[in-house]
Amino acid sequence: MRQIYRYIIYMVAIMLLASCYPIRRVGLLQERSGLPEYEKGEYELYRLQKNDELELRIVSLNMETALLFQSVAVSSVANSSFTYRIYEDGTIDIPFLSKVKVAGLTLQQAEQKIENELSGFADDIIVKLALSTGTFCVIGDAGRGYFPIYKDRLTIYQALALSGGVSPSADLGHVKILRRSVEGTKIIEFDIRPKSVIDSEYYYVYPNDVIYFDFSKRRFWAIDSYSGFLSVISSSLSMLVSVWNAFN
C-alpha cells in the first residue's frame, strides 16, 4: 500500500508542475527582466492600397453640383455618398473625372487630391473619404474571425478584446502579424507580454492585418481550470486503484 501512495504523490507532483499557466507566461503588461524592451515609435497613418473600398462623400452648396452627383438631399446641401474600389493600377473611377490615383496616399491626402480634381464643378466642394473595408483578422489559438476597425488607432489589446480574447495556451511570446503595405506583405513577430509594447511599432492594428497566435508547446499538458485538474487527478487515482487491485 505504501508503494501506491508513492505513485500517487509522484503523479500529483507531476500534474501540478505540468498543468499550470504561470503568470509570467500568460500575463500582459509585464515589467521584468528577460522580456524584450521595445522602443516607442510614431504612429503612421494608413496608406491606401489596391482592392481597398472607399466611401466617397461629396458636399456642396451648389445645386447644379448636387444634381450632377445625384444628390437626394432636400436642402441646399449636396451630400452624395458612393463606394469605389481601388483598381489594380491604384486608381478609382469617379464619374465625370478621369481616373484618380489614390493608392499610396493617406485618406487625408486622397481627399485633398479629389477635391482639387472636382474644383472645376464648384468652389465649395468638400470631399470626405472613409475606408469601408477597414477590418482585421485573428486566427490561431485565440478568438477567430474578421472584425471591424471601428476607430482610428485601434490598439492590439482592443483588437483582442473585440475578437474574444486569447486562449491561456497561446504562445504570447511569438505573436505574428501579417501586414500589407505598398511594398508588399510582411510578417511582424513580437512578444505581446511586456509593457513596452504600448506605443511601440506593434501597438496599433491596421486595416487588413492578420493577427496569428501560435499554439504553445505546453498545451497538451496544461489544464485550464481547477475542475479540470481535479477531474484528471480523480481519474488517475481511479485508474491506479483499479490496476493495484487487479494485480493484488
* pLDDT tens track for 160-178: 999 998 888 899 999 999 9
The pTM (predicted TM-score) of the whole model is 0.74
Q: So where are the chain's domains?
A: 2-19+223-247, 28-43+134-213, 53-131
What average pLDDT does range 101-127 have in this prediction? 91
- Check if the beta carbon of residue 89 is closer than 8 Å to that of residue 154: no
User: Across-strand partners of 142?
Assistant: 166
CATH assignment, 53-131: 3.30.1950
Q: Which of 71-75, 97-101, 149-153 has the lowest mean pLDDT?
A: 71-75
What average pLDDT does range 168-192 have in this prediction? 92
26 pLDDT higher than 90:
no
CA distances from 50 to 36, 46, 59, 135, 232 (A): 35, 13, 25, 15, 53
Domain 28-43+134-213 in CATH 1.10.287.130: no
pLDDT at 119: 84
Write out the three cell numbers for 9: 504523490
Write out the three cell numbers for 114: 479629389
Q: How confident is the model at residue 71 (pLDDT cuts 50, 70, 90)?
A: very low
pLDDT at 74: 32
Task: Give the DSSP letter string of 69-105.
Answer: TT---SSS-EEEEEEEE--TTSEE--TTS--EE-TTS
What average pLDDT does range 108-134 have in this prediction? 89
9 pLDDT higher than 50:
yes
- Look up cell 500575463; give the residue: 27
pLDDT at 27: 87
